[in-house]
Structure 1
Amino acid sequence: MHYEFFEGFMPRISEVTNRSLPLWEQTNYQIKRDRTALHSLGYVYSGEGVLEYAGTSRLLVPGELFQLWPGHPMRVVSSREKPLAFYSYLFRYRVANWEQGTLSSEESSGPLPLKLGSAGGRKQEVEAEFRKTYEFWSAKESGYDWHVKLQLLNTLRLLQSLETSRDTDSSGKQAVQRAIERMKADFAQPLTRSDLAEAAAVSPGYFSSLFKAHTGISPIPYLNKIRIDYAKQLLRDTSVPVKEIAEQCGFEDSFYFSRLFHLDTGMSPRDYRNSI
């Protein structure tokens, strides 16, 4: 899962729908759009149908997950004998980025970085998440927008776990985890990409692409994030001078440490210490 992407994910939900027989009876068993305008994340819980989208076609059956995004022609055709039924989130989203204490964001028209397919043996769990969201939306109780947003995040976490279980490259995940364990154990040491690749038992050239594919971030920035997080703890809980904290966290250059710290928090290490 692209954790860095979802860390800045800011959805604005427009509607949560339950498309079923009453809709198909009114639309002659099809929905057609010349150009989609919103993102959609859906789950089929019964019936059969066909989704035609952006020049591709796929069968929709119980347990199938799908997503759509703005700017493409779309048509959904339901079976008359087994009317299609699915829940879906309709939303827009921005991706936020904090840099030196300043927040910037950009609205996205592209898909979420998810590998969607069948829910497999976890159909009941996935359906329960979508159904619960639809019930929150329909009830219109106090704070329902907030609850629905939380449900979307919970759903994305669940879909990530499905993606992980479908991923056949278990050796790749294990290699990345070995590198992360080395980072956590030896972050105070001057680790290089080659050191981490050795821990992962893969070549340095392959390691960087493998690590980013599984974490969404390159290995050295990941290592530095671990170091900065430990530095925050030392600033909060001790009176150790900043230069010594930099050294204890694996930074030979305290100025470089301060620059990275400022990029992460928007303030200097000393200001951070005085703010908590």
Structure 2
Amino acid sequence: MKHSDKTFWKQYIANLQVDLAHAAYTKVERIWEDLDYTPILNKFYYIIEGEGFLTIDGQTYYPKPNELYLLPADGVQSYGTINDDTFGKYWCHFTAKIGELNLFQALETSRFIRIEQPEQWRNKFERLIDYSNSDKLTSRIHTNSVLLEIIADYIESCDKVKFNLKATPAFEKMNVVLQYIEAHLTDNLTVEELAQIAHFHPNYFIQLFKNFTGNSPIQYINRARLEKAKNLLTMTELNVSAIADAVGLEFSYFSRMFREHNGVSPTAYREFIPKD
């Protein structure tokens, strides 16, 4: 994958928003079954014991203990028992969206992973269950944090991960826009200019851009400029005025914005960098 593409997807996935509907451990009954249905929520099944079957988009699986299955929303699925030794499983139902798009429409992963460290994964699900049942003020924050951890660790453990550009034609257009921004940070970039590159009306482009990056176009450009400035402060001996020029900002505005975002001036930031 090209560096620019990887940067785009990292930024895109960073805007993931999750919401847990249910989480529990269940030893399913012999009558546990549902055939050819299409769920509106994503599901994780972490199999601890027993036997049964799952069918996901026409492919049937017979999960074994210490396998974790992802059942994405909006796909045709079936599940059921095959004998009296039924599944004992941790499970959760959740949404995972970037803007209006389901994460697992944009990202194609393995259907299941083999768990090599079962105690750690049991702990993740136990924490998820505990936080989801807690009435503490911060319980929702903890719940989302653990769910994000489970999703991230699952993706990292998959044998294959593929980005689905067909999920929305806007992906490719937004990638082109982000590459253009990266290459023209010293220019006076405008929303109208960027919208024209993507062939969208400016008002629609602003909303779409925010869905993809979590920031407005101007916020994103300024953050990119500040990241480049930090790299220049770290890796070069350019003075602050030259760095402001290198990121396309007037010196006083650059200094003020840098302080607002980083809590210190550019000069102070450079002084904090460890010297060899």
Equivalent residues of 1:42, 1:89 under 8 A apart: yes
| Cα root mean square deviation, aligned | 4.7
Matched, 1:42 2:44: yes
Provide structure 2 residue ranges, at least 5 long, that are not aligned to the other structure: 1-8, 34-41, 62-69, 74-78, 125-146
Matched, 1:180 2:178: yes
Comparing 112-121 with 221-230, which one deviates more in the overlay? 112-121
Matched, 1:128 2:113: yes
1:119 to 1:43, Cα distance in 2 relative to 1, 3 A:
farther
Superposition pairs for residues 112-151 of structure 1, below 5 Å? 112-113=96-97, 115=102, 122=109, 125-128=110-113, 131-132=115-116, 134=118, 136-138=120-122
Rounded to whole Å, the distance in 2 between the matches of 1:119 and 1:65 is 11
SS of residue paired to 1:42? strand
Matched, 1:168 2:174: no
1:225 to 1:119, Cα distance in 2 relative to 1, 3 A:
closer
TM-score, normalized by length of structure 2? 0.55
1:136 to 1:174, Cα distance in 2 relative to 1, 3 A:
same
Provide structure 1 residue ranges, at least 5 long, that are not aligned to the other structure: 10-14, 31-39, 50-60, 67-77, 91-109, 141-147
Query: How many positions carry a matched residue from both structures?
Result: 207
Amino acid in structure 2 at the alignment position of 1:127: F
1:219 to 1:149, Cα distance in 2 relative to 1, 3 A:
closer
Rounded to whole Å, the distance in 1 between the matches of 2:248 and 2:178 is 15
Equivalent residues of 1:43, 1:127 under 8 A apart: no
Amino acid in structure 1 at the alignment position of 2:44: G
From 238, 252, 269, the equivalent of 2:266 is: 269
Amino acid in structure 2 at the alignment position of 1:269: P
Amino acid in structure 1 at the alignment position of 2:28: W
Deviations 1:182-209 (A, max 9, x none): 1111100111111111222322222112
Superposition pairs for residues 29-68 of structure 1, below 5 Å? 29=32, 42-43=44-45, 47=53, 64-65=71-72
Identity of aligned residues (%): 24
Match of 1:189? 187
Rounded to whole Å, the distance in 1 between the matches of 2:108 and 2:215 is 31
Greater RCO between the two (CA within 8 Å, min separation 6)?
A: 1
Deviations 1:241-274 (A, max 9, x none): 323321220113x333223222332221111010
Comparing 81-90 with 186-195, which one deviates more in the overlay? 81-90
Residue 24 (structure 1) shift: 1.9
Rounded to whole Å, the distance in 2 between the matches of 1:126 and 1:176 is 28
Rounded to whole Å, the distance in 1 between the matches of 2:117 and 2:239 is 49
From 220, 245, 248, the equivalent of 1:247 is: 245
Equivalent residues of 2:188, 2:248 under 8 A apart: yes
1:116 to 1:222, Cα distance in 2 relative to 1, 3 A:
closer
Equivalent residues of 1:116, 1:163 under 8 A apart: no
Match of 2:91? 88
Rounded to whole Å, the distance in 2 between the matches of 1:80 and 1:223 is 53
Rounded to whole Å, the distance in 2 between the matches of 1:85 and 1:139 is 16
Residue 227 (structure 1) shift: 0.8
Rounded to whole Å, the distance in 1 between the matches of 2:80 and 2:117 is 26
Equivalent residues of 1:246, 1:257 under 8 A apart: yes
SS of residue paired to 1:128? strand
1:153 to 1:44, Cα distance in 2 relative to 1, 3 A:
closer
